[in-house]
Amino acid sequence: MLRCDFCGVETDFVVRVAIDKDYDRLTVRHEKRYACLACSEKKEKERQERMKAAAQKTR
């Protein structure tokens, strides 16, 4: 079993999640964290909301 680094649930499947604000997977070192599907979906939704808010500020 694997464990989600965000909620601690044990699961058979995890997704690697990058949560750094200015994440650049090729050049920036960052902490590797793994999420269950529910936490992965939550993090993706939060990322999309941040991107939408940033886009609205540039208008």
| Higher local confidence (pLDDT), 9 or 27 | 9
pLDDT (mean) for 12-35: 73
The token duo for 27 is 């050049």
Q: What's the mean pLDDT in 23-46?
A: 81
pLDDT band at 37 (very low <50, low <70, confident <90, very high): very high
